[in-house]
């Protein structure tokens, strides 16, 4: 059924898909959602040219002071302060903004062909993205204990879209999926085996959408053979993780059962001696839940520096001679370098090291501190190129033994692409 004429010449819409009459190519506008417990980030992407038509965020959902910030391409930013008691209302407000006569980018919601949802945890069930049905929603719910802060919100977002956009395909793109190619020797813990059998205790990894996008793009950018490539991706931000990718498949990653394992992060401790939990709990009379809250929200760079979880503040502190800010940055860089070194071993070498995410893309000091550990390998960094910001770029010198690049991540585009493939 033809629903409407397309705005673009020689295009028509059939079943919500944009079809070029002469080329026979099929395009779609895809809404990408990332639902948190009290927030909803979104992008509307035109898959004809992968252009972002609009993006925005709903903040403080279920709280006082709820606000929608909507940025349509080529138009002024629009901010709306209004009550958002739940995600259902937030989704409806997003759709209103997208079709608004002044601030919108589409005529009506029927132009949205599908919705791609970032979902944190798919357990061991899903190793790739999937169109949502009742079985998929059950798995997402079954994974609530593995992703208590994210999976419930992800499911709420899916069900809100089902009500607001009835009949539109909903696609779950799992943060853990890319890492499901890890071999057992990488994902198993040396704990009682029945914990794995009964509770699924194993390493899952996260930031998978980013690692998938950046590892593939790094291969393309550097001209490597996708079937003969060894890539290490450093996704460094307030949440940080590293992956080892062999021929396009992840063989190891730093996060574990939860995003707490691995590198120290903005407020997360990363790897610690697990006996610390019992030791401090006994000393201070804290419960396990209280200890985990401290390790997730009061540790990391915030704890070491005593000042901030923001790396920009740490850089300013280091420049001012603050010893603890300096320690925080040095500790972080050291841990990153240790993981890179271990993954070089796991891969039996490396072709390219890629930095991405907020810190990885923008913090030249962190990149410099990390790569100084690898001068013995003949890796050379161009300090001037390292200071630049922008698109995909080399920060290693032409005579460096290993290519080092900065690849801006685009998780939303990856989600949109995977959604398009399925619908």
Model pLDDT, residue 390: 86
**Residues 132-191: tens digit of each pLDDT:** 999 999 999 999 888 887 899 899 999 999 998 999 999 999 999 999 999 999 999 999
**Contact call for residues 423 and 414 (beta carbons, < 8 A):** no
Contacts 24+ apart (CB under 8 A), 94-97: 94/40, 94/42, 94/56, 94/58, 94/68, 94/70, 95/164, 95/165, 97/54, 97/56, 97/68, 97/70
Structure confidence by residue, pLDDT tens digits, 265-316: 999 999 999 999 999 999 999 999 999 999 999 999 999 999 999 999 999 9
- Mean pLDDT over 114-122 rounds to 94
Q: What is the 3-state secondary structure (H, E, C) of the chain?
A: CEEEECCCCCEEEECCEEEECCCCCEECEEEEEEECCCEEEEEEEECCCCEEEEEEEEECCCCCCCEEEEEECCCCCEEEECCCCCHHHHHHHHHHHHHCCCCCCCCCHHHEEEEEEEECCCCCCCCCCEECCHHHHHHHHHCCCCCCCCHHHHHHHHHHHHHHCCCCCEEEEECCHHHHHCCHHHHCCCCCHHHHHHHCCCCCCCCHHHHHHHHHHHHHHHCCCCCCCEEEEEECCCCCEEEEEECCEEEEECCCCCCCCCCCCCCCCCCCCCHHHHHHHHHHCCCHHHHHHHHHHCCHHHHHHCCCCCHHHHHHHHHCCCHHHHHHHHHHHHHHHHHHHHHHHHHCCCCEEEEEHHHHHHCHHHHHHHHHHHHHHCCCECHHHHHCCCCCEECECCCCCCEEEECCCCHHHHHHHHHHHHC
- The CA distance from 19 to 251, in Å, is 39
Cα dist from 232 to 31, 40, 203, 235, whole Å:
30, 30, 18, 10
Token representation of residue 9: 């010449």
How far is residue 124 from each of residues 140, 196, 337, 368, measured CA to CA in Å?
11, 11, 29, 37
Is the pLDDT at 15 greater than 90? The verdict is: no
Average pLDDT, the chain: 91
Check residue 22 and give its pLDDT: 35
pLDDT of residue 3: 38
> What contacts 106, CB < 8 A, 6 or more positions away?
29, 44, 53, 98, 99, 112
Structure confidence at residue 21 as a pLDDT band (50, 70, 90): very low
413 contacts 50 by C-beta, under 8 angstroms: yes
pLDDT at 10: 47
* pLDDT of the residue at 126: 87
The confidence score (pLDDT) of residue 20 equals 44
Task: Show which residues are catalytic.
Answer: 175
pLDDT for res 338: 98
Q: Which residue has the higher pLDDT, 101 or 187?
A: 187
pLDDT at 124: 86
Domains of the chain, earliest start first: 2-174 (3.30.420.40), 224-411 (3.30.420.40)
pLDDT in tens, 402-413: 999 999 999 999
Which residues in 242-257 are b (16+ Cβ under 10 Å) and which e? bbbbbeeebbbbbbbb
Report the range out of 3-17, 19-33, 177-191 with the highest average pLDDT: 177-191
27 pLDDT band, cuts 50/70/90, is low
φ/ψ of residue 26, rounded to 5: -110, 130
Identify the band that residue 2 occupies on the pLDDT scale cut at 50, 70 and 90. very low
pLDDT 10s digits, 352-366 = 999 999 999 999 999
pLDDT digits (tens, 9 = 90+) for 186-220: 999 999 999 999 999 999 999 999 999 999 999 99
Please write the tens of the pLDDT for every residue from 247-256.
999 999 999 9
């Amino acid at each position: 059924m033809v629903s409407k004429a397309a705005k673009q010449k020689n295009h028509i819409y059939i079943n919500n898909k944009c079809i070029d009459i002469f080329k026979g190519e099929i395009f779609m506008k895809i809404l990408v959602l990332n639902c948190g417990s009290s927030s909803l980030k979104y992008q509307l992407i035109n898959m004809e040219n992968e252009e972002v038509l609009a993006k925005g965020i709903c903040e403080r959902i279920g709280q006082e002071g709820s606000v929608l910030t909507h940025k349509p391409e080529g138009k002024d930013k629009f901010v709306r302060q209004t009550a958002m008691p739940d995600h259902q209302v937030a989704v409806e407000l997003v759709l209103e903004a997208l079709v608004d006569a002044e601030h919108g980018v589409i005529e009506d919601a029927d132009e949205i062909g599908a919705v791609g949802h970032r979902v944190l945890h798919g357990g061991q069930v899903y190793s790739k993205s999937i169109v949502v049905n009742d079985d998929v929603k059950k798995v997402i719910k079954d994974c609530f204990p593995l992703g208590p802060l994210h999976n419930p919100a992800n499911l709420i977002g899916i069900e809100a879209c089902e009500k607001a956009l009835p009949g539109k395909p909903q696609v779950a793109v799992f943060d853990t999926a890319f890492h499901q190619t890890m071999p057992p020797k990488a994902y198993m813990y040396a704990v009682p085996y029945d914990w794995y059998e009964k509770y699924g205790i194993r390493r899952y990894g996260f930031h998978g959408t980013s690692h998938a996008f950046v590892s593939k793009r790094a291969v393309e950018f550097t001209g490597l053979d996708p079937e003969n490539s060894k890539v290490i991706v450093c996704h460094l931000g307030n949440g940080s993780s590293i992956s080892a990718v062999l021929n396009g498949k992840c063989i190891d990653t730093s996060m574990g059962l939860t995003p707490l394992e691995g590198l120290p992060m903005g407020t997360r401790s990363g790897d610690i001696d697990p006996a610390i939990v019992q030791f401090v709990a006994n000393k201070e009379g804290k419960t396990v839940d209280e200890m985990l809250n401290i390790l997730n929200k009061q540790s990391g760079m915030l704890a070491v520096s005593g000042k901030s979880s923001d790396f920009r503040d740490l850089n300013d502190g280091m420049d001012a001679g603050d010893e603890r800010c300096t320690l925080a940055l040095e500790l972080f860089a050291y841990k990153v370098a240790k993981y890179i070194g271990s993954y070089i071993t796991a891969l039996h070498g490396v072709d390219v090291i890629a930095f991405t995410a907020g810190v990885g893309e923008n913090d030249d000091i962190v990149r410099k501190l990390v790569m100084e550990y690898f001068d013995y390998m003949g890796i050379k960094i161009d300090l001037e190129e390292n200071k630049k910001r922008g698109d995909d770029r080399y920060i290693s010198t032409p005579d460096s033994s290993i290519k080092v690049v900065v690849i801006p991540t685009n998780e939303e585009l990856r989600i949109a692409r995977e959604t398009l493939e399925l619908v």
